[in-house]
Chains A and B, each alone.
Chain A
Amino acid sequence: MIKVESISKSFGSLKVLDNINLNISPGEVVVVIGPSGSGKSTLLRCINYLEKIDDGKIYIDGKLVGKKEINGRLVEAPAKEVYKMRENIGMVFQRFNLFPHMTVLQNITEAPVLVKKVSKQEAFKQALQLLEKVGLDEKANAYPAHLSGGQQQRVAIARALAMEPKIMLFDEPTSALDPELVGEVLAVMKDLAKEGMTMVVVTHEMSFAKEVADRVIFMDEGKIVEEGPPSQIFTNPSHPRTREFLVKIL
């Protein structure tokens, strides 16, 4: 479903992604771990082309992301095609990024109405169902500023789901939350995983990775150092750097 083919990306002289290869199948939950600055978030942002790549290719459902092949040469795809591609990929951010001038309901219905031209009525109905799913149906008319961090993040998940994406990307979704609010967000994510959503999750929540991930990827200095099922990565990591990292955070 997602195929990442030897992509590289630099910010100035700093190589943040260094020849990354990755294959993610439908319904798979992949958790990406690693120290800060290891390129985890950048990898995620490249998948939906919020970040351009310097080298390599990314395919979603067999379609090239952000680029076009013309006469064997890769050129930037037109913006419209990139926008269209993003409809299939939901993204949840560390800092929620809800629209502060809109109510919870408007936050969720905005994109389906604006982008997918869904009728307002239908979008409202769907939004209420999604809110019920994330346990916030009574907050439909509240503004983001009046919600706790955990509630905001659950709304952000509902907002992403409203576009009915095939893939969900989570960029440290619980890192900005007070510890007691982390659980409610992870619970929603677990439900999603159970429903068979294809998910790529960058997180420091190792318990979540152990419980939910089909595969754990450890990144360091822009490279995938090691990957495998959580049982293997957490109990018997093969690479010394993985071991070193896990010792520090577990």
Chain B
Amino acid sequence: MQIIELGKVSNSGVMKVATGFVWDWAFVLKMLPLLLKGAVMTVTLTACAITFGTGIGLIIAFMKIIKNPVLNFIGGIYTWVFRGIPLLVQLFIIYYALPMVLGITLDAFPAAVIGISLCGGAYIAEIIRAGVQSVDKGQMEASMSLGMGYFQAMRRVIVPQTYRRLIPPMGNEFITLLKDTALVSTITMTELTRTAQIYSASHFKPFEMFLTAGVIYLILTTFFTVVFGKLETKLAQSE
């Protein structure tokens, strides 16, 4: 047994703290490639969820904004359902329950992407709808009085005015999507959280694994914070 001073790192990369807990740097370094591999999956899932979620969000927002009672209703039902049921339950339904009912078996990856995108889409739809409807009514009236059609006015006058207001809530939503990918660890997706779970259990090092995973998540979410912060200042300047 080595004798190590509190707070100092020994030759084998072990650090002792007051409770007697020993932080194992060597283990962290050894596991880092596996965690990073999990992180790559997390990023892939996030990228897919953002792409499809934004696509769904645009379509649903459109359905809720235009003057068509049927589409309004469908859009309303969509957000009601996918925003109202916990993502975890949605994932379980898609991955575990649907195969039993419909006989469709989805792999974990498509199931995960579908689940997060459907749910994220509901939130993004609400963000876009609120953004478009926050534009002063007079803008549409002015456009109309100039002979523009509804879609011309939307495209040229209304929607461009929403970009800047959409940046902060969209940044928020993307960060939420990224963190929500942790939930798909429950449907056997080996992303960052599940990787940390597996190896913390097998080596009984939960602190090292989960803290490192947490730091990796923080680095990833910081990326969005920085990018969206930059976007916001850039759009603010152009106004």
- The distance from the CB of A194 to the nearest CB of chain B, in whole angstroms, is 23
B residues 149-166 in Cβ contact with A at 8 Å: 149-150, 152, 156-157, 160-161
* Known A86-B144, A101-B160; contact A114-B152, beta-carbon cutoff 8 A: yes
Asked whether any CB of chain A lies closer than 8 Å to the CB of B215, the reply is no
Interface string of A3-20 (1 = CB under 8 A from B): 000000000000000000
Contact of A115 with B139 in the complex, beta carbons under 8 Å: no
A residues 154-169 in Cβ contact with B at 8 Å: 156, 159-160, 163, 169
Contact of A84 with B142 in the complex, beta carbons under 8 Å: no
Contact of B138 with A80 in the complex, beta carbons under 8 Å: no
Chain B interface mostly helix, strand, loop or mixed? Answer: helix
Contact of B145 with A83 in the complex, beta carbons under 8 Å: no
- The distance from the CB of A131 to the nearest CB of chain B, in whole angstroms, is 17
Q: Which residue of A lies closest to B157 (CB)?
A: A99
Asked whether any CB of chain A lies closer than 8 Å to the CB of B239, the reply is yes
Can you list 25 A-B pairs, Cβ within 8 angstroms, ordered by A? A50-B141, A50-B144, A50-B145, A79-B149, A79-B150, A83-B147, A83-B148, A86-B146, A87-B146, A91-B142, A91-B145, A93-B138, A97-B139, A99-B157, A100-B239, A101-B239, A110-B156, A111-B147, A111-B148, A114-B148, A114-B152, A114-B156, A115-B146, A115-B147, A145-B239
Q: Which residue of A lies closest to B150 (CB)?
A: A79
With a CB–CB cut-off of 8 A, which chain B residues contact A163?
146-147
- The distance from the CB of A91 to the nearest CB of chain B, in whole angstroms, is 4
Contact of A97 with B147 in the complex, beta carbons under 8 Å: no
The CA-CA distance from A125 to B5 in the complex, in Å, is 81
Q: Which residue of A lies closest to B135 (CB)?
A: A100
Asked whether any CB of chain B lies closer than 8 Å to the CB of A173, the reply is no
- The distance from the CB of B135 to the nearest CB of chain A, in whole angstroms, is 10
- The distance from the CB of B140 to the nearest CB of chain A, in whole angstroms, is 9
Q: How many chain A residues touch B (Cβ–Cβ < 8 Å)? A: 30
Asked whether any CB of chain B lies closer than 8 Å to the CB of A59, the reply is no
The CA-CA distance from A89 to B141 in the complex, in Å, is 13
The CA-CA distance from A79 to B68 in the complex, in Å, is 14
Contact of B161 with A80 in the complex, beta carbons under 8 Å: no
6 closest A-B pairs by CB: A97-B142, A87-B147, A111-B146, A91-B145, A97-B138, A115-B147
Q: Which residue of B lies closest to A111 (CB)?
A: B146
With a CB–CB cut-off of 8 A, which chain A residues contact B138?
93, 95, 97
Q: How many A-B residue pairs have CB under 8 A?
A: 70
Interface string of A105-119 (1 = CB under 8 A from B): 000001100111000
Known: A91-B142, A159-B146. 19 other contacts (CB 8 A): A50-B144, A79-B150, A80-B149, A83-B144, A86-B147, A90-B146, A91-B141, A93-B138, A93-B141, A97-B138, A99-B157, A100-B161, A101-B239, A110-B157, A111-B147, A114-B156, A115-B152, A116-B147, A163-B146
Contact of A143 with B146 in the complex, beta carbons under 8 Å: no
Contact of A143 with B145 in the complex, beta carbons under 8 Å: no
With a CB–CB cut-off of 8 A, which chain A residues contact B148?
83, 111, 114-115
The CA-CA distance from A48 to B146 in the complex, in Å, is 10
With a CB–CB cut-off of 8 A, which chain B residues contact A169?
145
With a CB–CB cut-off of 8 A, which chain B residues contact A97?
136, 138-139, 141-142
With a CB–CB cut-off of 8 A, which chain A residues contact B139?
97, 99
- The distance from the CB of A236 to the nearest CB of chain B, in whole angstroms, is 36
Q: Which residue of B lies closest to A50 (CB)?
A: B141
With a CB–CB cut-off of 8 A, which chain B residues contact A84?
147
The CA-CA distance from A93 to B142 in the complex, in Å, is 8
With a CB–CB cut-off of 8 A, which chain B residues contact A50?
141, 144-145
With a CB–CB cut-off of 8 A, which chain B residues contact A111?
143, 146-148
- The distance from the CB of B139 to the nearest CB of chain A, in whole angstroms, is 6
With a CB–CB cut-off of 8 A, which chain B residues contact A83?
144, 147-149
